[in-house]
Structure 1
Amino acid sequence: MRKFALAAVLFALGWGGLPGLPRDASASISLEKCTLCHGKPEFRKLLVDGQIRDLFVTGDTLKGSVHGKKGCTDCHFDVSEIPHLVRPRRVTCTHCHFRGNQEGAPQSDNVLAYFDSAHGKAIAQGNTKAPLCQDCHGSHAILKAKDPGSKVARVNVAETCGKCHMEIYAQYKGSIHGTALAKGIVEVPSCTGCHGEHKIYAHTDPKSTIFATHVSEQCSKCHSSIAIMGKFGIETEQVATYKESFHGVASQFGSRTVANCSSCHGVHDIRPPDDPLSTVNLKNVPKTCGKCHPGANPNFAVGKIHVDAKKKESGIIYWTATFFKWLTIGTMLALIAHIFLDMYGRTRRLRGER
């Protein structure tokens, strides 16, 4: 099944090969020959839609990338002569990047994960705008993800995704996560922190990390971490109190419609509660709650939302919980005492009969 999916995507790209099959062209064409044309800064091409494609590539660009030891035709292996009169096919990375490859590429199943993702399925269905490897990782100046200059580095990945998801990127930039990232705080989540990297699925797919019943678990990776939240003076009790609430319990039982973190706080445009634009700002709480509870009034904003019944700050909820806790303990102790006294009385009566 995986081979079929792989073949479908490759045929959609105009190349019917499978990983590991021999290349069609000779790899003897040197970088120097390619840069006779591609090494000129003014080397561009006017596309049919009026856009201009920059075809300028330097040897230094390649040498500084993870493919520094590779030649042009290691990727553009359908190019067999210089100049090439036919436009090369779009590069596919599957020849090297698969588990068991002999090319020295990382041994991983990321390619198969991509084909099963929302992006891979879109490509297989003929969507030419869906991203391929080079749309995210870059074409020639590909750097390791840990390199600050990489297009998929934590500090850059939102901008990379934003080339397609422009509206969402604009929302993220204005959010508490986006503004923190702009300040150099690397602990905050970016796109891949929530959606995943190669295994990106539609939010309606149960396999997705942002599927309705998975959202609280995804948010808790950061918001229940004392190590991360402690740096910024943020409490970690929100996750636990949500799970103990009606919403949290219903979610754990598989409800897809009950409110989760993003239902209240937002998705990409999450803002702090004191921000007038925040969905959990006191003035906006009735509207936010009203999405599920029609007719929600200002009383919905009265009192604490994430309530910890173990703390006195919770007011009547704390005292009610405390009362029932001691009532339960007292009842159990009285029951045990009753059983003990009953057994003692029965024992005495039995001894008296003898």
Structure 2
Amino acid sequence: MIGAPQARLGWAQAAALSLLLHGAAAAALVWQPDWQRADPIPDAPAQLQLDLSALAATQPDAPTLTPVTTPELAPDPASETLTPESPAPEAPANEATELLTPLLTDPPLALVDTLPEAGSAGAAQPAPDPEPAESGGPADPRIAELFDRIRGRLSESCLLALPALLGEDQIQLGVLAADDRQIAGLMRELTRGLETEITESAVLLDRRQCPALDFARRDPRYPVLGLGLQLEAQDIASGGNLRGRISGGAGLYTTLLLIDDNGVVHDLRRFQIASAGVTRFDVPLARSGAARDTHQLVLAIASPARPETVGTHAGELAEDFFDQLARDIAADARIGIGSVYVR
């Protein structure tokens, strides 16, 4: 048949090609090569050794601190008064007489307070006392009699009597109370039968200030209080300054408080300056509203440290403030009290 040999040849080629393809596929299934190439084995890490003994021993330069002399700054009224500054040059002898006579704490009151320490007054002191002329004199017997009467008579709350020696021969009796009838009655009882003429001075307070008076009477030295509080004036115009000094608190922390005639307690620490064992103050005062008959109380306290109550309760009413302060400080803390009228 024409074309038969060629057809058989084509089938033969197709069969051979099929066998070749199937064989290649079977070989691929049987042989599965690992295409991941193994990493070469790393060489052992080299070890570095430093021979410290071969290094030169170098000592780093130590920093040198050079003290810098700080110029002495002027006293800051806001500074604390825990430690008095070094004594300043002694003031002129007539300095105290230039001040207006304070109502309650004339310098001789500080003198009476220093009498128990008269035995040690003869020892050499590093600096003269701010009032050396009065530190060694005997107590006036006329004032001593008033002291006895006050201690034996005064027991009512919100009533305070403080005698003072004005000049050399005049006695002043200041009485503070929230009731003017109490003031007049106490004046009569304390001065009855005395041969010496006594100048009377009444200070009317608001009843909300009474806790401050009761606190001051806790001083075991009353009516001779432990601090001398001297005011330049006890009657100032609104907008003026309350100036004065506190003595008798050297080596102690001095706290200065103002109890206004609304009964609010104000901390005056930022207006204080301590120098030579004396604390001075200069406080601007301004009245809000119409003038009243009542006075503002000024209270000074000397204690080993600043009372915590002052920092936490200043600005509160006197009733709450002094109730807490009485538990905060010792009973033998030194106290001074005065008053000022702001018109």
* Shorter-chain TM-score tier: under 0.3
TM-score (norm 2): 0.22
Max Rg structure: 2
Give the structure, 1 or 2, with the largest relative contact order (CA under 8 Å, sep 6 or more). 2
